Amino acid sequence: MKNKITLKELAKLLNVSISTVSKALNDSPEISAKTVERVKELAKLHNYRPNPVAVNLKSSKSGTIGVIIPNISNSFFARVLSGIEAEAQRAGLQVITYISNEKLDREKQICDMLTTGYVDGVLIAVAEETQRKKEFDHLYQLVEYGIPVVLYDRINFDIPADRIGIDDVGTFADVTKGLLAKGIRKIGIATTIHHMGVGKLRIEGYKEALPKNENYYIANSARPESLKEKTEKMLVKDKVEAVICTDFESTMQVYRSAFEHTINIPEDLKVIGFIGKELANFLTPSISYIDQFPEEMGTGAMQLLEARLNNYNKDKSGTERILKTSLVHLESTKF
């Protein structure tokens, strides 16, 4: 079993002091070129790499950042994490992952631990329960301890932190307007997340775009049976010409209801989903979807954090970055 060599051991082998070795490896001008070379040669030979834990202790940095994810099964968050990891890798930082499972308690517990010094900064998409109960003390606590926080995706509440997300209202307004522009009048919206922050915003955008004289058609329920009922009413009784969906579950329900009532997509019904591209492309018919560019959100969040880590005091106020979304037309909106 190989064991890592230390400065002390190198020093002994070279018959010089520990500090000389350290300085030589860090190209200090205090050390002669000759010794530097001698030291570096032996260091390379033994594949010396400084013990990160010792370096961390000395520098009182951990070289790691914490990422809090509400729900990793949601491929959106998985892809955000992927972006975060890529950017962290580039910056030489380690990513510690925590999953809150949308629970406030778990989130608190995580934040509490993080104040102990495990990480230099935190990226968080706050849990659903946290938003609902509007309890943000644990996030303030992080800030109190001087740990920079960046909010991603779920950003519509007041906390002194940098943030990155999309314009939910604008996105859904634009999508709705796009359908109107094609001459479609009866547009519905299906959602299972109407009680959540982002859900509300998306519905707001939909409503905002519809002309005053047009009815709203909304199928909203987190309970499957109820959603099914409301969706069927919207499709069969109200006979909407298009449905915009705010999330995975509602998108799938619309597809199922259309199938069961032999409503053809896209001939009889246009559908726009808010799902990932993998799924959108593979469903039959493929679903036109709103791309949120999750990886970009991840790298962007990480970049905001890096900026803070490099000069935390320079700019006190939180910066906000809103990413553009993009409607990708596939089979479900063919005209």
Partner DNA sequence: TTTATTTTAGCAAACATTTTCTTTAGAATT
Partner DNA sequence: AATTCTAAAGAAAATGTTTGCTAAAATAAA
Q: Where does this chain bind a second copy (CB under 8 A)?
A: 1-4, 49, 51-54, 56-57, 60, 62, 64, 72-73, 75, 78-79, 81-82, 85-86, 89, 94-99, 115-118, 144-146, 248-249, 252-253, 255-256, 259-260, 276, 278-279, 282-284
- The secondary structure of 228-271 as a DSSP string is HHHHHIIIIIS--SEEEESSHHHHHHHHHHHHHTT--TTTT-EE
* Cα angle, residue 315 at apex, residues 312 and 316 outer, rounded to 5°: 85
> Which of 27, 30, 158, 225 touches DNA by CB under 7 A?
30
> Which of 2, 34, 134, 237 touches DNA by CB under 7 A?
34
The entry of a second copy, DNA, none near residue 7 (CB within 5 to 8 angstroms by kind) is DNA
Torsion of CA 134, 154, 108, 301, to 10 degrees: -140
Q: Verify binding: residue 141, DNA, rule CB under 7 A.
A: no
Nearer to DNA, 50 or 178 (CB): 50
Nearer to DNA, 49 or 134 (CB): 49
Nearer to a second copy, 2 or 314 (CB): 2
Minimal distance, residue 131 CB to a second copy, in Å: 21
Rg, C-alpha atoms of the chain: 26
Q: Verify binding: residue 45, DNA, rule CB under 7 A.
A: no
Phi, psi of 165 (to 5 degrees): -170, -165
Helix 137-144 × helix 104-114 angle, to 10°? 10
Torsion of CA 70, 75, 81, 83, to 10 degrees: -150
Q: Verify binding: residue 19, DNA, rule CB under 7 A.
A: yes
CA 37 to chain centre: 46
Report the sign of the C-alpha dihedral through residues 51, 55, 57, 62, in that order: negative
Nearer to a second copy, 36 or 147 (CB): 147
Residues that bind DNA (CB under 7 A): 4, 6-8, 15-20, 22-23, 25-26, 28-35, 48-51, 54-55, 57-60
